[in-house]
Amino acid sequence: MKLWAGRFQKETDTLVNDFNSSISFDARMYQEDIAGSMAHAAMLGRQGIIEAHEAEKIIDGLKAILADIEADNVEFSLENEDIHMNIETMLTQRIGETGKRLHTARSRNDQVAVDFRLFVKKEIPVIIGMVLELEKVLIKKAKANLETVMPGYTHLQRAQPTTFAHYMMAYANMFKRDVTRLEDCLERMDECPLGAGALATSTYPVDRFQTAAALGFARPTANSMDSVSDRDFAVEFLAACSILMMHLSRFSEEIILWCSWEFKYVELDDAYSTGSSIMPQKKNPDVAELVRGKTGRVYGSLMTLLTVMKALPLAYNKDMQEDKECVFDAIDTVEMCLPVFAAMLDTLAVQAKNMRSAAAGGFINATDCADYLVKKGMPFREAYMIVGRLVNMCIKTGETLDTLPLKDFRSVSNVFDADVYRALELKTCVNGRKVYGGPAKEAVEAQIAAIEEFVEARSHGQT
C-alpha cells in the first residue's frame, strides 16, 4: 500500500510505478539518507517535537537498517519508489508506530536535496585527491625533463622551443585550477536544505542550525523555496567536472599525437597500451583515446542537468528526479579516468632525442634570430622582416638557420656576426627565456615549486 493511499481510490498503474520509481539509482544514496534521517530524528527529539525515547528508537532502527544494507541483507522495493520511502517504510516495519513519526516536519523534497548534497560533498574530496595524485606525476615528469627541449606549437606548427617540463607544468596549472574550482563549488554547496520541508518549512519549532551542524554543513540554506528547488550545486559540480575532463582530453589528444610514428615524442608503456587484432605492428593509445571519448559523456551530463532545470518553476518538480543519474555517471567517469590517466602518464617514456631533433629541424629559433638583431640595436619589425627573408632563402636552399653560412646572413644584413650561431642554439633559446612563467630551467623550477606547495598544502589540510 502506498503512503498516500488515504487520498486515492485506485492503485497506481504498474506502468506508472515503474516509470516513477528512482530506487534503481537513488539507492546509491542510502548512507546519506540514513544520516539525514538520524540528524532529523535527533533534532525532533531535542526540540520536543517527538519524545526523546522515540527519537532514540528511530535512530537505533535506522542504524540497524544501515548495517543490514551494508551487509547486503536488504531488498529495496520498486513499489516504495525511492530510497527515502524505502527506508522509511522499512523503519516502520521494524520498529512499529514510532517509525511513523520520523517524517514529522520534513518532506521528501528537503530530504532528497540534503541527501544529494551530502553525496556530492562526499565525492568532491575523492576527485580532488585523484587530481592531486596526477599533479604529483606531472611534478615528477617535469623534474626529470627540465632540459628536454621540444618544439612548442601554435596552430600545430612548430613555433618556439620549450621543454617537456614546461609543457607538463602547463597541464599542472590547469589541474590546479580544477582543484580550486571543485573547492569553491564545495564551499558554496555547504548549506543544509533540511527543514525546508516541502517548500515553506513547517510550524514546528524545528532547529535547522542543529541539523545542519550535525550533518557537517557550514550552515542551513537561507530560503526554504530555494532550498528544495536548487540544483545549482550539481550543475556547478558537473561544470567543474567537464572542465577537468576537457583538460584531460586535450592532454590525451597530445599523447595520442606524440606516440604516433610521425612524432615519436613518447612511448607508452606496454601495460598502458593495446595491440590490434589484425595489425601485428600496432601499439594503440586506447587509454588516452577513451579518456578523450568519455569527456563527451561528462559534457552530456552537464547538458542534461542544465536542460532539465531550464524552465522549472519553483519549487520542487518531479523533473528533478532526473538530476541524479547524470551526476552519478559523471562521478564514475571522472573517478575512473583520473587514476588510469595518471598511471599511463607516469609510465610513459619520453623520447628526448626525437623531441630535440624536431625542435632543431625547422625554424623554431627564428624569433630568436630576430631578437639577436634587436639586441644589436635594430627595431623589432625590421629584424622580423630580415629573418623572414633568411627563412625564405633557407627553404629554397634546404638549409636551416643554424647551418646557413655567415656570408648568407650578412648578404641580408651586415649586423650579423659569427656569434649568431650561439644565439640560435636551442639551449640558448630556451634558457634565455627566464621570464616568470617561461621555459628556462630556473623559471620552470619555480613553477614546479609552486605546484608542489599547492599539493603539499592540501595533503596537510591547510587550504
Q: Any idea which residue has 518538480 for its cell? A: 317
What CA–CA distance (Å, rounded) separates 169 from 426? 20
- Confirm or reject binding of residue 76 to ligand ARG (CB under 6 A): no
What CA–CA distance (Å, rounded) separates 391 from 304? 51
3-class DSSP state of 418 = coil
Which residues inside 10-69 make contact with ligand ARG, applying CB under 6 A?
22, 26
Q: What cell numbers appear for 150 in the block?
A: 621540444
Residue 257 half-sphere exposure toward CB, CA atoms < 13 A: 9
Q: Is 53 a catalytic residue?
A: no
Q: How far is the CB of 112 from ligand ARG (least distance, A)?
A: 4
- Tell me the number of residues near ligand ARG by CB under 6 A: 10
- Confirm or reject binding of residue 108 to ligand ARG (CB under 6 A): yes
3-class DSSP state of 284 = strand
What CA–CA distance (Å, rounded) separates 137 from 117? 31
Task: Please choose, from the candidates 279, 293, 285, 289, the residue with its C-alpha nearest in 3D space to the C-alpha of residue 260.
Answer: 285
Nearer to ligand ARG, 109 or 201 (CB): 109
Q: Which of 80, 86, 92, 109 touches ligand ARG (CB under 6 A)? A: 109
Q: How far is the CB of 80 from ligand ARG (least distance, A)?
A: 11
What CA–CA distance (Å, rounded) separates 401 from 425? 10
Question: Is 190 in contact with 215 (CB distance < 8 Å)?
Answer: no
Nearer to ligand ARG, 26 or 368 (CB): 26
Residue 68 half-sphere exposure toward CB, CA atoms < 13 A: 15
- Confirm or reject binding of residue 230 to ligand ARG (CB under 6 A): no
Nearer to ligand ARG, 265 or 316 (CB): 316
What CA–CA distance (Å, rounded) separates 139 from 354? 22
Stretch that binds ligand ARG, among 46-54, 90-98, 317-325, 395-403 (CB under 6 A): 317-325
Write the DSSP symbol of residue 21: -
Q: Which of 276, 357, 411, 459 is catalytic?
A: 276
- Confirm or reject binding of residue 227 to ligand ARG (CB under 6 A): no
- Confirm or reject binding of residue 98 to ligand ARG (CB under 6 A): no
Q: How far is the CB of 83 from ligand ARG (least distance, A)?
A: 8
- Confirm or reject binding of residue 321 to ligand ARG (CB under 6 A): yes
Q: What would the 3-class secondary structure string for 359-375 be?
A: HHHCCCCHHHHHHHHHH
Nearer to ligand ARG, 98 or 107 (CB): 107
Q: Which of 320, 326, 364, 394 touches ligand ARG (CB under 6 A)? A: 320
Stretch that binds ligand ARG, among 37-45, 182-190, 229-237, 313-321 (CB under 6 A): 313-321
Q: Is 301 a catalytic residue?
A: no
What CA–CA distance (Å, rounded) separates 16 from 8? 15
* Strand partners for 267: 349
Q: Which of 32, 54, 82, 368 touches ligand ARG (CB under 6 A)? A: 82
Which residues inside 346-385 make contact with ligand ARG, applying CB under 6 A?
none
Question: Is 256 in contact with 289 (CB distance < 8 Å)?
Answer: yes
What does the binding site for ligand ARG look like in residue numbers (CB under 6 A)? 22, 26, 82, 108-109, 112, 316, 318, 320-321
Residues with catalytic roles: 155, 276
